Structures are given as C-alpha cells and as structure tokens.
C-alpha cells in the first residue's frame, strides 16, 4: 500500500484582519485591494468620536459602488459628543473599493 500525504481538505474559512483609522474632514481613507481572486469585504462595526472631538455634529460617510456599478455615497452615522459619541453598525459589510 502506498503512503498517502496528509492534506487538509477542509473548506477555506474567511480570515479577518483588524483595521482602524482616524478620519479627518480634509482627508479620505481608502480601502482597496489588488487581489481579485478572493472576495474581500470591509466590515464596519463601530464608529466613535475621539476624546478631543468638539461637541458639534460629525458625519461619517462611505462611498462605494451600488448594484449597477455606479459610485454612491451613504451617511453611516452622525455623532455628537454630548448626545451620541459612539454608534454600533453591527457588521455593515461593503466590498472594495470603499472611501
């Protein structure tokens, strides 16, 4: 009988990577990938204001592609330090590219 190699034939599982960014009004943050073979998604879970944020309205928006492939901008959260400094998005997933 021939020796067989031990090969893991279990299905591939998604891999998650921690990503964090500090958003500023005059700077966009981009999530894009060069690998088209794998299905990448940005999973947004929490948006919160930093300790030094002013007590005014702060709007967080995402720009991505809609189902027709056209760019679309969506407001994800509007936060104010004295009212609602943090919001949970519950794993809002967007395929790249996302701004």
Q: In the chain, what are the domain boundaries?
A: 42-94
pLDDT score recorded for residue 42: 76
pLDDT score recorded for residue 37: 63
Structural domain 42-94, CATH architecture: Sandwich (2.60)
- Distance between CA 13 and CA 23 in Å, rounded? 30
Low-confidence ranges of the chain (pLDDT < 70): 1-11, 35-38
pLDDT score recorded for residue 75: 92
* Alpha-carbon torsion, ordered 32, 33, 39, 44, to 10 deg: -30
pLDDT score recorded for residue 64: 86
- Distance between CA 84 and CA 60 in Å, rounded? 13
Are residues 79 and 58 in contact, defined by beta-carbon separation less than 8 angstroms? Answer: yes
Enter the tokens of residue 69. 């492939």
Entry pTM: 0.69
């Amino acid at each position: 009988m021939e020796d067989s190699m031990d090969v893991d034939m279990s299905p591939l599982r998604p891999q998650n990577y921690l990503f964090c960014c500090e958003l500023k009004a005059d700077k966009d943050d981009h999530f894009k990938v060069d690998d088209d073979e794998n299905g990448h998604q940005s999973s947004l879970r929490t948006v919160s204001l930093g300790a030094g944020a002013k007590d005014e309205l702060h709007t967080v928006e995402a720009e991505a592609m809609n189902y027709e492939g056209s760019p679309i901008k969506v407001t994800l959260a509007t936060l104010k330090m004295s009212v609602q400094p943090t919001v949970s998005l519950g794993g809002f997933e967007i395929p790249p590219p996302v701004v």
